[in-house]
Amino acid sequence: MSLTGQHAIVTGGGTGTGAAIALALAHAGAKVTVMGRREAPLREVAGQHRFVGYVTCDVTDPVALRAAFAQARGLNGTVDIVVANAGAANSVPFRKATAEDFQSMLDVNLKGVFNSFQAGLGDMEQAGGGRLIAIASTAGLKGYPYVSGYCAAKHGVVGLVRALALELARSGVTVNAVCPGFIETPLLDRSIANIVDKTGMSPEDAAKSLRRSNPQGRFIQPDEVAQTVLWLCSDAARSVNGHALSVSGGEI
C-alpha cells in the first residue's frame, strides 16, 4: 500500500495513537507533518523516520492552526490527507461538571476536528481528491458514565463527518471517522489512575473493568488504529465515505 508523494498532516501526533498513525503513513511513503502543543514528543516522533517533520500548534486556535498548515506546506507541499487525532478526555460526574469543563471537551475534541478539516480542505478540493479522517471513539457511538462532555464532543465528530461526507461526495474527497474502544496509550493510563483515585481499586482491577467492555477482553493497540487509517487513505477505500468505523473488538 503506497502513499508515495502524498502529504499527510496528523494532529496530536507526538504520542500514542497519533504517533503510530504518523509512522504508519511514513512507512507507506507519505511525507508526514505531525502537529501538537509540545515540541519534545513531536521531535521524538520525527526522529524515527526521515519522512516525518513537525510543527507545534494548538488545534483549538484556528488562526494558529492555519499558520501551522502553511508552515507544513512549506516543508512537504500541498496537503492530501488530514488525520484529526488531537483529543483529551476529562472524567467528572455530570452534576459536578462546570460549563468550562464541558466547553473544554468540545473545544479540543470537536472544534479541533472542525479547524483541522477546514485548514486542509482547500488543497484537496483544488487537487480533486483527498482524505479527511477523524479519530473519534466508541464514545461517539454510545454513552459512557462520567464523561458526558467527551461523549457529546465525539458524537458531534461523527455527525460532522457524516454531513461533510455528503457535502463533498462529488469532490473526490472522502470523510470518515475511526472509533476505537479503549486504546493502550498514556491516555488510558490516566483513565486507570483516575479510577484508582476515585474508587480505591487496584490498578489491575481498574484495567480489568475497562477491558470488560471489549468482547475480546483486551485493549485496542495503537497500530490497529494506524492500519485502519492507512487503509482509509488507500485507493481501495475510495468508496468508503461518511462512515464511523468501530475498532473495538465488537463492543459496538
Known catalytic residues are 150
Give the C-alpha distances (Å, rounded to integers) separating 37 from 34, 40, 130, 136, 188. 10, 9, 25, 19, 19
Other residues' Cβ atoms within 10 Å of the Cβ of residue 222: 21
- Rounded alpha-carbon distances, angstroms, from residue 88 to 35, 93, 231: 15, 16, 25
Q: Which among 33, 83, 113, 11 is positioned nearest to 230, based on CA atoms?
A: 83
Query: Is 53 exposed, middle or buried (CB count within 10 Å of its CB: 0-12, 13-18, 19+)?
Result: buried
Which residue's C-alpha cell is 460526574? 93
DSSP-based three-state secondary structure for 41: helix
